[in-house]
Amino acid sequence: MTQPIDLASALASFSEAWSPRIVTTVNDYDIRLARFAGEHVWHVHTDTDEFFLVLDGSIDIGLREDGGERTVTLRRGEVFVVPRGVFHKPSSSAGAAVLLVEPSGTLSVGDEHDEVPANVDTTTGHPLPSRVPA
């Protein structure tokens, strides 16, 4: 990356939910933007935490831990880290824009997951279009 990237322009460059775009890379970590709409899939990253920052809207993250389930709700400007080894399921009933931080190459549906619905892209992230204005 040799030029600043405007996150609003980057978000405007795609509309697909559950199909993250790689904005940049810091050391061995991808900074990804994603649109959330509806439900993702229960999944787990066995070797890495997952960082969520809600840029717009709100999201729910279902968590399976300590033998039970709970839900964390994040609104615009709030962050949350799902620890490695915790099954989780992001969702957003009204839609949201989210910034994610994960090691490069991390699969969007984790290392283990339930059946992936057709609305969820199984990917390690897509590049942004080459010309996103700052």
pLDDT of 131 over the 90 cut: no
**How much is the mean pLDDT over the chain?**
95
Domain range enclosing 111 = 21-124
- Residue 5 is assigned to a structural domain of this protein: no
* Domains contained in the chain, number: 1
Overall average pLDDT of the 32-47 stretch: 97
Instruction: Give the Cα separation of 57 and 97 in Å (integer).
Output: 7
- Residue 116 is assigned to a structural domain of this protein: yes
pLDDT of 118 over the 80 cut: yes
Overall average pLDDT of the 58-66 stretch: 96
pLDDT of 9 over the 70 cut: yes
Overall average pLDDT of the 33-44 stretch: 98
- Residue 15 is assigned to a structural domain of this protein: no
- CATH number, domain with residue 116: 2.60.120.10
Instruction: Give the Cα separation of 21 and 84 in Å (integer).
Output: 22
Q: Provide the pLDDT for residue 130.
A: 73
pTM confidence score: 0.94
